[in-house]
């Protein structure tokens, strides 16, 4: 059995949805899959804008955007579904969801406040709508399909916007609700990204969370594969939007993939790997536009890894933009214990997560996401010493298991980046990444130089593929 997750672009248009249906149908020949979908591309962003507009009591903007969301799905139905009865049925469902969205807008306007809880409710409509259309379109083509509201399965804590599942309960729900359907040969279509608290309040797992949903569901089902279908040929040596020569990586270890995702490679949500590791289920990252391209296998299986031995140092380069660099300098740090504890307590107090860090005897440099930056945080830090802030920076990390035992990596990195202004350098404790901070306008030069340095050699044949689209 496999879980197949399709991302926003893989279900964003009628053509893409049809392609995804063909991929599911082909898989069904082997084993009946659980299909987990994202919202159509752009829809979650629109829902966030609707929520914000409602919170500001800008009803005109919110309702106009809500009408666009509804229209997008109505158009998908028109293009994809032929049977009149099914069209009527699915149109009524879209109407119902659209009506609820409008009610929510009015409710938030009346209360005059947008809470995290209502924001999650807004965001849930994208996945509810995409799955509704997809399941109906599959039914229209004669497949045995059941649409499941994942909120009856994915029970989470009440950390709205970043909810985490209550594992035991979810596993039991999966076995009770989803497994029997799959065993009867029914394809199950459900939502990624969303869940509900025990008392039925809608939650989300955080942006990009559908990958995580798929991995969790795959682990609870004890599946033998988790397939992440997206818009690129698997995990690549760098984001192809930044480095046009980026290659697809055939195989990588769980630790490499997790590290890469945490360090900013958007192709996988950072939490996707943990459930797969726990049950030792391989994760396949595949391109829905080129379903026959090999994509990437993420596994710890020695047999699969041995056929693909790799003697290069770096496997991939990750970039995280929208960061802010904070330097705290204080002579009080020198030889004093407890200083770091007090300093990091400030970050904890303002719920700011520290991303990359480097320290010396008298200074600490670290990066935080620009969105979590606040003046209160800086005021708190000023009690410790001089504080310098640089906005508009990015972290770049080179990742690879082979970095662990390597010599000369730093030298190669620095020579590749000799013309780039490095604002900070840090080696990850896992020893499989080296990271540094650059100003955002220098990202493209930096990653292309690094890519040339580490991926143009002859050692890379076999493990890296030229993407199917550019063959
Ligand atoms: P989906 O909607 O399918 O979840 P995402 O947009 O979340 O897709 O992730 C896919 C995108 O991730 C790609 O289009 C690519 O621009 C970006 N990306 C960043 N780093 C990498 C990488 N190392 N390999 C492949 N894609 C990457
Ligand atoms: N639709 C959600 C988002 O855009 C979740 C996902 O796509 O994984 O963040
Ligand atoms: Mg994604």
**String of DSSP letters for 136-164:** HHHHHTT--EEEE-GGGT-EE-S-TTS--
CA separation for the pair 44, 127 (Å, rounded): 8
* Secondary structure class of 204 (helix, strand, coil): strand
Question: Ligand 3 centroid to 7 CA: how many Å?
Answer: 6
241 occurs within a structural domain:
no
Pick the last residue of a domain from 189, 210, 231.
231
CA separation for the pair 467, 310 (Å, rounded): 19
Confidence tier at 303 by pLDDT (50, 70, 90): confident
Any atom of ligand 1 within 6 Å of the Cβ of 44: no
Q: Which atom of ligand 1 is nearest to the CA of 229?
A: 3
Pick the last residue of a domain from 187, 202, 231.
231
Any atom of ligand 1 within 6 Å of the Cβ of 218: no
User: 323 and 227 in one domain?
Assistant: no
360 occurs within a structural domain:
yes
Name the residue range of residue 440's domain: 316-470
Pocket mutation for ligand 2, best pick of 42, 209, 267 (most atoms within 8 Å of C-beta): 209
267 occurs within a structural domain:
no
Q: Tell me how many domains the chain contains.
A: 2
In this structure, are residues 413 and 402 in contact, taking their beta carbons and an 8 Å threshold?
A: no
Q: Which atom of ligand 1 is nearest to the CA of 236?
A: 24
257 occurs within a structural domain:
no
Pick the last residue of a domain from 178, 213, 231.
231
Any atom of ligand 1 within 6 Å of the Cβ of 321: no
Q: What is the domain-level CATH number for residue 325?
A: 3.30.2130.10
Pocket of ligand 2 (CB under 6 A): 7-8, 38-39, 44, 126, 192-193, 207-210
Question: Ligand 1 centroid to 118 CA: how many Å?
Answer: 28
pLDDT in tens, 388-425: 999 999 999 999 888 877 777 888 888 999 999 999 98
Question: Could you tell me the sign of the dihedral formed by the alpha carbons of 38, 39, 41, 46, in that order?
Answer: negative
In this structure, are residues 259 and 212 in contact, taking their beta carbons and an 8 Å threshold?
A: no
pLDDT of 461 reads: 58
pTM of this structure? 0.95
| Residue 426 token pair | 């840090």
pLDDT in tens, 80-110: 999 999 999 999 999 999 999 999 999 999 9
283 occurs within a structural domain:
no
359 occurs within a structural domain:
yes
311 burial level (CB within 10 Å; 0-12, 13-18, 19+)? exposed
User: 437 and 338 in one domain?
Assistant: yes
In this structure, are residues 117 and 196 in contact, taking their beta carbons and an 8 Å threshold?
A: no
Q: Which atom of ligand 1 is nearest to the CA of 285?
A: 25
Pocket mutation for ligand 1, best pick of 4, 239, 259, 320 (most atoms within 8 Å of C-beta): 239
23 occurs within a structural domain:
yes
Q: What is the domain-level CATH number for residue 151?
A: 3.40.1160.10
pLDDT in tens, 195-209: 999 999 999 999 999
Q: Cβ contacts of residue 251 below 8 Å, gap of 6+?
A: 296, 297, 298, 299, 304, 305, 308, 463
| Residue 287 token pair | 């391109």
Q: Mean pLDDT, to the nearest integer, of 318-327?
A: 97
Q: Mean pLDDT, to the nearest integer, of 62-67?
A: 98
| Residue 353 token pair | 């997560």
CA separation for the pair 397, 403 (Å, rounded): 12
203 occurs within a structural domain:
yes
CA separation for the pair 365, 389 (Å, rounded): 10
pLDDT beyond 90 at 428: no
Q: Cβ contacts of residue 419 below 8 Å, gap of 6+?
A: 445, 449
User: 324 and 462 in one domain?
Assistant: yes
Question: Ligand 2 centroid to 274 CA: how many Å?
Answer: 19
Q: Which of 212-216, 292-296, 357-361, 374-378 has the lowest mean pLDDT?
A: 357-361
In this structure, are residues 357 and 366 in contact, taking their beta carbons and an 8 Å threshold?
A: yes
In this structure, how many other beta carbons lie within 10 angstroms of the beta carbon of residue 363?
16
460 vs 262 pLDDT, higher one = 262
pLDDT in tens, 242-255: 999 999 999 999 99
């Amino acid at each position: 059995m496999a879980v197949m997750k399709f991302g926003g672009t893989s279900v964003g248009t009628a053509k893409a949805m049809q392609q995804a249906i063909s991929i599911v149908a082909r898989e069904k020949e082997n084993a009946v899959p659980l299909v987990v979908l994202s919202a159509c591309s752009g829809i979650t962003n629109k829902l966030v804008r609707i929520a914000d507009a409602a919170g500001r009591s800008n009803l005109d903007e919110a309702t106009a955007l809500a009408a666009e969301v509804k229209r997008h799905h109505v158009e998908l139905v028109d293009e994809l579904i032929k049977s009149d009865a099914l069209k009527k049925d699915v149109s009524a469902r879209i109407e119902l969801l659209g009506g609820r969205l409008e009610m929510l807008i009015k409710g938030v306007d009346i209360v005059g406040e947008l809470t995290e809880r209502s924001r999650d409710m807004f965001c849930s409509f994208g996945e509810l709508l995409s799955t509704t259309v997809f399941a109906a379109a599959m039914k229209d083509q004669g497949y045995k399909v059941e649409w499941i509201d994942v909120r009856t399965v994915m029970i989470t804590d009440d950390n709205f916007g970043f909810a985490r599942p209550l594992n035991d309960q979810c596993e039991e729900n999966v076995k009770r609700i989803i497994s029997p359907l799959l065993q009867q040969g029914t394809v199950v279509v459900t939502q990624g990204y969303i869940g509900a608290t025990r008392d039925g309040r809608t939650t989300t797992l955080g942006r990009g969370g559908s990958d995580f949903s798929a991995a969790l569901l795959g682990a609870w089902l004890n599946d033998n594969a988790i397939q992440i279908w997206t818009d690129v040929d698997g995990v690549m040596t760098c984001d192809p939007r930044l480095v046009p020569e980026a290659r697809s990586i055939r195989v990588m270890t769980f630790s490499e993939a997790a590290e890469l995702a945490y360090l900013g490679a958007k192709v996988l949500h950072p939490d996707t790997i943990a459930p797969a590791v726990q049950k030792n289920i391989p994760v396949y990252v595949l391109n829905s536009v080129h379903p026959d391209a090999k994509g990437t296998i993420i596994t710890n299986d020695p047999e699969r890894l041995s056929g693909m031995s790799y003697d290069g140092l770096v496997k991939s380069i990750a970039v995280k933009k929208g960061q802010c660099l904070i330097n705290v300098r204080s002579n009080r740090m020198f030889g004093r214990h407890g200083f770091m504890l007090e300093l990091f307590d400030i970050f904890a107090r303002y719920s700011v997560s520290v991303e990359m860090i480097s320290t010396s005897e008298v200074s600490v440099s670290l990066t935080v996401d620009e969105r979590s930056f606040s003046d209160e945080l800086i005021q708190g830090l000023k009690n410790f010493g001089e504080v310098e802030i640089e906005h508009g920076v990015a972290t770049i990390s080179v990742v690879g298991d082979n970095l662990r035992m390597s010599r000369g990596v730093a030298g190669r990195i620095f020579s590749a980046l000799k013309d780039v202004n490095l604002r900070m350098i840090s080696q990850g404790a896992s020893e499989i990444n080296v990271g540094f901070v650059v100003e955002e306008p220098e990202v493209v030069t930096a990653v292309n130089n690094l890519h040339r340095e580490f991926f143009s050699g002859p050692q890379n044949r076999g493990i890296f593929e030229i993407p199917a689209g550019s063959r």
